[in-house]
């Protein structure tokens, strides 16, 4: 197969929890050589982990280009960046400290490579919060970690499937704390992140964003909670005054049941399950989690570690494959956005225009 290496993005892939389905679905994807036609994959793991799961997949036949220096990437093969050398116990389906420790080792080295510009995008396989959160990794997941690493003022967890995009105001927080986190400032910030991402990452010139209510029936004009009329509605109004084309708040149940989401470029949900339940129901396995607001591109599949099927060779790689495609699309979208705005014609001030007109009249 002839492979074109020109303008082909380098995509880093973290392995996720060693005992989850991450490595299996990665192997299923990169075993198809056609992936090399659209990107250069770099898997952040180690050879023993890869070989362990390769034995559970008899139909997978693949060779890797070993890598210890991210500046020496082989664009004609799948690259395996060695993150650790020691033997690690791999026990598919089990939640272990080692599974989380080395998942974070893979993630942090891949993320540092992304920050250093050694890779063009990052796709992260699932981790489990119970064995990754620690004093040395004091984050509830990928999104807050990447926000911290890249020094972003704010980011948005944006779930993507085709033309459906659902952002979250609050992410992994207890339900009892949600109402206290719904503030006008937070809504404005998330809308600004989403609006800019829709333009820069997805090529939408005038994004149209729907905002969901917090309470049932969006508060029923204050009869079922005051947040919708006292916080969310004013935030939407202020956002529109800042050239963000947004509407709401809408009652979440009717909004999805009646297909209203199809009329918008994105939706801002107030909390995790309000956005994720309809998204996963409608995305049918093709959902992608995208971190909007970073100055780098990171995506992931919309599922977890799936310990119940890990190591059995039956995991579906569709969402992970779509995460890689989406990562590539956004990288290309950002390049297009940048190219369109390169060396723009300088706008003359109104005073300059007025003077030019005066001189023209005088000459005549």
More confident residue, 340 or 242: 242
Element (H, E) at 333: helix 318-340
Of the options 3.40.50.11890, 3.40.50.880, 3.40.718.10, 1.10.10.10, the CATH number for the domain spanning 1-151: 3.40.718.10
Joined tokens for residue 87: 């033997």
In this prediction the pTM is 0.89
164 and 276 Cβ atoms separated by less than 8 Å: no
Residue 363 is predicted with a pLDDT of 46
Rounded to whole angstroms, the Cα distance separating 133 from 107 reads 13
What was the pLDDT predicted at 222?
Answer: 87
Asked whether the beta carbons of 319 and 302 are under 8 A apart, the reply is: yes
Secondary structure (3-state) at 316: coil
Whether the bond into 14 is cis, omega within 30 of 0: no
Please provide the DSSP assignment of 109-122 as one string. HHHHHHHTTSSSEE
Separation between Cα atoms, residue 160 and residue 259, nearest integer Å: 16
Chain mean pLDDT for the chain: 91
Tokens (6 digits) for 42: 């770099």
Residue 362 has pLDDT above 50, yes or no: no
Q: Which fold has domain 153-293?
A: Isopropylmalate Dehydrogenase (3.40.718)
| Residue in this structure with the two tokens 């049932």, named with its chain if needed | 216
- The string of pLDDT tens digits covering residues 198-231 is 999 999 999 999 999 999 999 888 899 999 999 9
Decide if 1-151 and 153-293 have a common fold: yes
**Torsion angle of the four alpha carbons 98, 99, 103, 106, in this order, in degrees rounded to the nearest 10:** 60
Domain boundaries defined on the chain: 1-151, 153-293
Residue 290 CA to residue 345 CA, distance in Å, equals 33
The number of CA neighbours under 13 Å toward the Cβ of 338 is 7
Mean pLDDT for the stretch of residues 274-299: 95
- By mean pLDDT, which of 13-27, 43-57, 157-171, 329-343 is the weakest? 329-343
Three-state secondary-structure class, residue 55: coil
């Amino acid at each position: 197969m002839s492979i074109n290496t020109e303008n082909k993005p380098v995509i880093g892939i973290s392995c996720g929890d060693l005992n989850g389905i991450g490595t299996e679905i990665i192997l299923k994807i990169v075993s198809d050589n056609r992936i090399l036609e659209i990107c250069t994959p770099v898997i952040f793991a180690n050879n023993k982990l890869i070989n362990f799961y390769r034995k559970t997949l008899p139909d997978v036949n693949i060779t890797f280009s070993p890598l210890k220096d991210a500046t020496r990437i082989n664009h004609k093969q799948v690259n395996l960046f060695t993150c650790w050398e020691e033997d690690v116990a791999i026990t598919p389906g089990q939640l272990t400290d080692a599974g989380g420790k080395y998942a974070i080792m893979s993630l942090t080295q891949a993320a540092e490579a992304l920050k250093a510009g050694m890779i063009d995008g990052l796709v992260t396989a699932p981790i489990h919060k119970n064995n990754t959160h620690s004093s040395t990794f004091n984050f509830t997941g990928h999104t807050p970690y990447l926000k911290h690493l890249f020094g972003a003022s704010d980011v948005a967890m944006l779930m993507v499937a085709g033309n459906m995009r659902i952002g979250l105001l609050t992410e992994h927080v207890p339900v009892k704390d949600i109402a206290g986190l719904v503030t006008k400032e937070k809504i404005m910030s998330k809308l600004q992140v989403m609006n800019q991402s829709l333009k820069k990452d997805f090529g939408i010139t005038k994004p149209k964003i729907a905002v969901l209510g917090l309470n049932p029936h969006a508060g029923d004009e204050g009869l079922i909670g005051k947040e919708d009329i006292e916080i969310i509605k004013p935030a939407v109004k202020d956002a529109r005054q800042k050239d963000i084309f947004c509407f709401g708040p809408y009652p979440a149940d009717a909004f999805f049941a009646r297909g209203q989401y199809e009329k918008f470029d994105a939706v801002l949900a107030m909390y995790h399950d309000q956005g994720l339940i309809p998204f996963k129901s409608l995305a049918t396995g093709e959902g992608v989690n995208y971190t909007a607001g970073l100055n780098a591109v990171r995506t992931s599949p919309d599922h977890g570690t799936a310990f119940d099927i890990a190591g059995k060779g039956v995991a579906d790689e569709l969402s992970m494959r779509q995460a890689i495609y989406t990562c590539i699309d956004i990288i290309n979208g950002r390049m297009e956005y940048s190219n369109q705005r390169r060396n723009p014609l300088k706008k003359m001030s109104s005073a300059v225009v007025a003077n030019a007109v005066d001189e023209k009249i005088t000459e005549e």
